[in-house]
């Protein structure tokens, strides 16, 4: 009888491994996000008789991103990727050749994965080499910069550095440039002309020092550009204003230290909708600066966490009508059956282990003495 039980247990273990094994392999599909189509690949394997998955977004040349979880229950397959705050849930076809489901990264998008063969598998490109980092003691300036009015009706705003280390902005106002360059909230700007938040510009600039600048170097170069091309002159005053203060919660922070270059740039981006914020290689001071200078919040944000390391995390919340300059109120509702995430204050506490409170705090105010519209060249 004991031998029969051992055989039954061995057969059950073998059956479980075979059951999992029949979804191993390469699965690929296309995500349609608005007019954009992105090809994605999941490679599923067995490691110590447990399923493991790796994700690739090949049109974005993303590096391999390991899934944190993958489960199969009958025909139901679920894959979770914490680094992207993304999940895929689908149903395996009876012939084991496709998984029809939904990719959710703050907004659900239909995605059908098809099992690839050696002949049909998409080529996964090598990820781009890591950027060359600018010397830490360098003090770059933008030796070449073009400033042009944005196209009428242009949508969205953008401030970033491309792979050739060009500094690019899209549809940005002087207000946007000031809040970025000096890490301040619009309420910390006084005496500005009306056009500073109405005229929109596209900027392309190249630094006079090779390599990717860090955050301090980039902001310093932007400050010099504002002085040279906008004729900006100002002085600072200290005022007590209503602000949001960021501190560590009672249970301590729930943050993962970044493994990226500690001297590299932080990354902030919204995945699919406002309120689904993905953050990479950022300090809490930089998070506070982003929340106030985007601006996400209608008041300055002051970092008092005393956390100095760089972290990777995702913050997912439901914006209210006061956030994003009122733009959040215009966002489409979530689809039926999709549970709305918590408000920002609850999300920061639950997901990051931090606390955001509104209170009076002394802050610097930038007072205009002189500014003028820029020439294009």
Q: CA nearest 249: which of 319, 351, 344? A: 351
**pLDDT for the residue numbered 201:** 95
Q: CA nearest 279: which of 308, 288, 134? A: 288
Lowest mean pLDDT among 26-35, 93-102, 306-315: 26-35
Measured CA angle at 291 (ends 285, 296), to 5 deg: 175
146-201 pLDDT per residue, tens: 999 999 888 778 888 887 889 999 999 999 999 999 988 889 999 999 999 999 99
| pLDDT above 70 as % of the chain | 88
- 3-class DSSP state of 164: coil
Banded model confidence at residue 106, pLDDT cuts 50, 70, 90: low
Kindly tell me if the per-residue pLDDT of 377 is higher than 70: no
Mean pLDDT of the chain: 86
Kindly tell me if the per-residue pLDDT of 243 is higher than 70: yes
The CATH class of the 2-115 domain is mainly beta
Banded model confidence at residue 314, pLDDT cuts 50, 70, 90: confident
Q: Which long-range contacts (CB under 8 A, 24 or more apart) does 328-336 make?
A: 328/274, 328/275, 331/273, 331/274, 334/107, 335/108
Tokens 């998070």 identify what position? 287
Other C-beta atoms closer than 10 Å to the C-beta of 137 total: 6
Kindly tell me if the per-residue pLDDT of 72 is higher than 90: yes
Q: Where are the domains of the chain?
A: 2-115, 142-370
Which run of H or E residues covers position 349? helix 344-352
- Hey, what are 239's tokens? 């005022």
CB 159 within 8 A of CB 218: no
**pLDDT for the residue numbered 214:** 86
**pLDDT for the residue numbered 338:** 64
Higher pLDDT, 333 or 273: 273
Kindly tell me if the per-residue pLDDT of 41 is higher than 80: yes
């Amino acid at each position: 009888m004991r031998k029969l039980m051992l055989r039954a247990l061995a057969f059950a273990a073998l059956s479980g491994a075979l059951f999992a094994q029949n979804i191993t392999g390469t699965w690929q599909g296309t995500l349609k996000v608005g007019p954009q189509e992105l090809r994605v690949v999941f490679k599923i394997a067995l490691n110590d008789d447990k399923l493991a998955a790796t994700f690739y977004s090949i049109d974005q040349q993303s590096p391999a991103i390991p899934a944190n979880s993958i489960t199969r229950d009958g025909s139901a397959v679920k894959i979770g990727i914490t680094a992207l705050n993304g999940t895929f849930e689908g149903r395996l076809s009876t012939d084991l050749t496709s998984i029809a489901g939904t990719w959710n990264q703050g907004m659900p998008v239909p995605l059908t994965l098809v099992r690839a063969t050696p002949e049909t598998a998409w080529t996964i490109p090598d990820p781009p080499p890591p950027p060359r980092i600018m010397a830490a003691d360098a003090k770059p300036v933008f030796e070449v910069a073009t400033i042009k009015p944005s196209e009428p009706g242009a949508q969205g705003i953008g401030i970033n550095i491309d792979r050739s280390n060009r500094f690019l902005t899209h549809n940005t106002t002087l207000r946007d440039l000031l809040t970025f360059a000096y890490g301040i909230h619009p309420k910390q700007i006084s005496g500005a002309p009306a056009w500073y938040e109405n005229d929109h510009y596209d900027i392309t600039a190249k630094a006079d020092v090779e390599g990717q600048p860090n955050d301090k170097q980039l902001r310093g170069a932007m400050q010099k550009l504002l002085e040279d091309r906008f004729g900006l002159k100002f002085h600072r005053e200290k005022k007590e204003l209503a602000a949001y203060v960021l501190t560590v919660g009672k249970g301590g922070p729930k943050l993962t230290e970044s493994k990226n270059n500690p001297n590299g740039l932080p990354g902030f981006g919204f995945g699919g909708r406002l309120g689904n914020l993905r953050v990479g290689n950022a300090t809490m001071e930089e998070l506070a600066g982003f929340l106030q200078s985007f601006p996400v919040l209608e008041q300055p944000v002051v970092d008092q966490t005393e956390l100095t390391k760089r972290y990777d995390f995702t913050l997912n919340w439901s914006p209210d009508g006061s956030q994003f300059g009122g733009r959040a109120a215009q966002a489409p509702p979530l689809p039926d059956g999709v549970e709305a995430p918590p408000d920002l204050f609850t999300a920061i506490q639950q997901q990051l282990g931090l606390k955001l409170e509104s209170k009076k705090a002394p802050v610097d105010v930038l007072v205009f003495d002189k500014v003028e519209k820029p020439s294009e060249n």
